[in-house]
Amino acid sequence: TPSFIAEVAMVSPSGLTHRLTQLERSGHITRIADDSDRRSSLVSITKTGAAVADQIIEQIAEQSARMYNAIPAKDLEKFSNVVSLVSAQLDSEVVTS
């Protein structure tokens, strides 16, 4: 649903609505009314949208590989260690309700 997408993407529902309208007009997604809640809609990616998403993911992977390949292995190891420490610290501070 758009609400779920907005929450996961950490964007405002109104901002997402505009983006979804653009994606729907360009044929990348479809929106159909949710039978269980007529105020909501179900969003599905189309084959065209999935193909574009695959291309974007591939481009990101290639760009990431180029970036990481330019960094010496010892520096990447240090970076990985720092990220692990920060992640562990964040995990320990997460408040569950």
What's the CA gap between 38 and 9, in Å, rounded?
Answer: 23
What's the CA gap between 45 and 48, in Å, rounded?
Answer: 8
> Does the predicted TM-score (pTM) go above 0.75?
no
What's the CA gap between 91 and 65, in Å, rounded?
Answer: 27
Note down pLDDT in tens along the chain; length 97 residues: 898 999 999 999 888 999 999 999 999 999 998 888 888 899 999 999 999 999 999 999 999 999 999 999 999 999 999 999 999 999 888 755 5
